[in-house]
Amino acid sequence: MTTFVFRNQTVEAFLGYDDVTYSGYDDISMIPSEVDRYIWFYQVSVNADSAQLAQEIQSYSDKLDIVLSGIDSNKPFVIFSLVNLFSVRLTGDETAVGQAIAAFNNHASALAVSHPNVKWVDFTEFTSRYDADTLVNWKYYLLSQTLLNPKLARDFHAWWRRLEGELALQRKKCLILDLDNTLWGGVLGEDGIDGIKLGGDYPGKAFSYWQRSILQLARNGVILAVCSKNNEADVDEAWRQNPFMVLKREHFSSLRINWQDKATNIREIATELNIGLDSMVFVDDNPTERELIKQMLPQVEVPDFPDKPYELMPFFKLLVEKYFRIYAVTSEDRAKTEQYRANAMRKAEQSHFADLESYLYSLDMQLDIIPADEHNLSRISQMTQKTNQFNLTTRRYTEADVHQHLDQGWRVYCMSVSDRFGDNGITAAIFLEPVDDTTINIDSLLLSCRILGKGIEEAFIKTIFNLLRLDGYRQLTADFLPTAKNGQTADFYDRMGMSCDHTDDAGAKHYTMALSNMFEIKNYYNIRVL
Partner 1 sequence: MTIEEKVLEIMREVFDMDEISTDASQKNCERWDSLHHLTLASELEDAFDIELEPEEIAEMTDFSRVVALLAAKVK
Angstrom distance (rounded) from CA 132 to CA 136: 7
Closest contact distance (angstroms) between CB of 154 and partner 1 is 10
- The span from the CA of 47 to the CA of 65, in Å, is 24
Q: For partner 1, which is the closer residue by CB, 142 or 490?
A: 142
The kind and range of the H/E element at 383 are helix 377-386
CB of 153 to partner 1, least distance (A): 7
Task: Report the nearest approach of partner 1 to the CB of residue 59 (Å).
Answer: 26
Residues facing 185 on adjacent strands: 197
Asked if 144 is part of the footprint of partner 1 (rule: CB under 8 A), the reply reads yes
The minimum distance between CB 23 and partner 1, in angstroms, equals 15
Using CB under 8 A as the binding rule, whether residue 130 contacts partner 1 is answered as: no
Which CB, 18 or 505, lies closer to partner 1? 18
Instruction: Please report whether residue 233 would count as binding partner 1 according to CB under 8 A.
Output: no
With CB under 8 A as the contact rule, the residue among 110, 142, 356, 514 that binds partner 1 is 142
Site string for partner 1, 2-21 (x = CB under 8 A): --------x-xx--------
Q: Which is nearer to partner 1, 130 or 140 (CB)?
A: 140
Give whichever of 153 and 348 is closer to partner 1, judged by the CB atom.
Answer: 153
- The radius of gyration of the chain from alpha carbons, rounded to an integer in Å, stands at 35
43 makes contact with partner 1 (CB under 8 A): no
Stretch of 54-62, 80-88, 89-97, 147-155 contacting partner 1, by CB under 8 A? 147-155
Stretch that binds partner 1, among 140-148, 163-171, 289-297, 514-522 (CB under 8 A): 140-148
Distances (CA, A) of 372 to 297, 375, 399, 429: 51, 8, 11, 9
What is the C-alpha to C-alpha distance for residues 84 and 45, in angstroms, rounded to an integer? Answer: 9
Contacts of 146 (CB under 8 A, 6+ apart): 9, 10, 11, 13, 140
Give the whole-angstrom CA distance, residue 146 versus residue 148. Answer: 6
139 binds partner 1 (CB under 8 A): yes
What gap in Å lies between CA 225 and CA 188, rounded to an integer? 18
Residue 146 as a binder of partner 1 (CB under 8 A): the answer is yes
Q: Is 140 a binder of partner 1 (CB under 8 A)?
A: yes
Q: Decide: 174 and 223 in contact? Cβ < 8 Å.
A: yes
Does 158 sit near partner 1 (CB under 8 A)?
Answer: no
106 near partner 1, rule: CB under 8 A: no
Question: Whose Cβ is closer to partner 1: residue 144's or residue 295's?
Answer: 144
Stretch in the footprint of partner 1 (CB under 8 A) among 136-144, 190-198, 225-233, 404-412: 136-144
Q: According to CB under 8 A, which one of 20, 31, 103, 153 is a site residue for partner 1? A: 153
Q: Which amino acid is at 294?
A: K
d(CA 229, CA 180): 9
Residue of 15, 343, 286, 275 lying closest to 152 (CA atoms)? 15
DSSP E strands in 8-133: the ranges are: 20-25, 37-41, 77-80, 118-121
User: From CA 123, how far away is CA 160, in angstroms rounded?
Assistant: 10
What is the CB-side half-sphere exposure of residue 320 using CA atoms within 13 A? Answer: 17
* Interacting residues with partner 1 (CB under 8 A): 10, 12-13, 139-140, 142-144, 146, 150-151, 153
